[in-house]
């Protein structure tokens, strides 16, 4: 897939309140400036047939958390775009794959990345499975790999600072509060 540009700081994201009611639209850049403005987002956890999770290391050019390990795919629906359309689009743009996705839960969080900005998202978390080989978009992803649940837990324990804050929060919730769901995948 190489180096295809699939997002920009000027694309309009969907502003929401804590109950996910739409409040308007703002550029991606403005949503991530300072302490951030609450906007709609999603995180996808895609597993293979061997029950391994596909992880990605975020691209070096990412404004927030560049070269940190994170879940398979995370992004935002754009103005006028449904979550279903956005998740399918982004999996294709970043990894060149399709997966049947199951919505699990949504939560809001705020995480500051030094002086460069923040994530402040109401994030919908999905689980999915694919048998397709991925093809990384190098503008978005520096590396990708599959890990078993055990391997991932060991890496998170040994090197927690190498992972994005939302990924760590989501993985903990999936393993603890939604263990029945995650057990079907991992």
Q: What is the pLDDT of residues 34-79, one digit of tens each?
A: 999 999 999 999 999 999 999 999 999 999 999 999 999 999 999 9
Q: Each residue of 141-169: pLDDT tens digit?
A: 999 999 999 999 999 999 999 999 999 99
Query: Could you confirm whether 74 is annotated as catalytic?
Result: yes
Q: How many domains does the chain have?
A: 1
Is the backbone of residue 17 left (phi > 0), alpha (psi -120 to 50) or beta?
beta
For 87, residues 6+ apart whose C-beta sits below 8 A from its C-beta are 42, 44, 73, 101, 126
Residue 51 belongs to a domain:
yes
Active-site residue identified among 31, 74, 119, 140: 74
Residue 55 belongs to a domain:
yes
Domain that holds residue 37: 12-183
Give the SS3 label for residue 23: strand
Residue 2 belongs to a domain:
no
Global pTM reads 0.94
Residue 4 belongs to a domain:
no
Active-site residue identified among 12, 30, 119, 121: 121
Decide if 166 contacts 45 (C-beta within 8 A).
no
Residue 63 belongs to a domain:
yes
Query: Could you confirm whether 115 is annotated as catalytic?
Result: no
């Amino acid at each position: 897939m190489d180096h295809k540009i699939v997002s920009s700081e000027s694309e309009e994201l969907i502003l929401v309140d804590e109950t996910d009611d739409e409040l308007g639209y703002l550029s991606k850049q403005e949503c991530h400036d300072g302490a951030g403005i609450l906007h709609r987002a999603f995180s996808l956890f895609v597993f293979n047939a061997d029950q391994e999770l596909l992880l990605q290391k975020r691209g070096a050019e990412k404004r927030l958390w560049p070269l940190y390990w994170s879940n398979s795919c995370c992004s935002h629906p754009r103005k006028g775009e449904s979550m279903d359309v956005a998740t399918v689009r982004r999996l294709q743009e970043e990894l060149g794959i399709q997966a049947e996705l199951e919505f699990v839960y949504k939560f809001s969080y705020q995480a500051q990345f030094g002086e460069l900005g923040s994530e402040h998202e109401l994030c919908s978390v999905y689980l999915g499975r694919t048998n397709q080989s991925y093809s990384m978009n190098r503008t978005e992803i520096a590396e990708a790999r599959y890990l078993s649940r055990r391997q991932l837990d060991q890496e998170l324990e040994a090197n927690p600072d190498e992972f994005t804050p939302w990924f760590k929060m989501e993985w903990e919730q999936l393993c603890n509060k939604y263990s029945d769901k995650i057990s079907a995948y991992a």
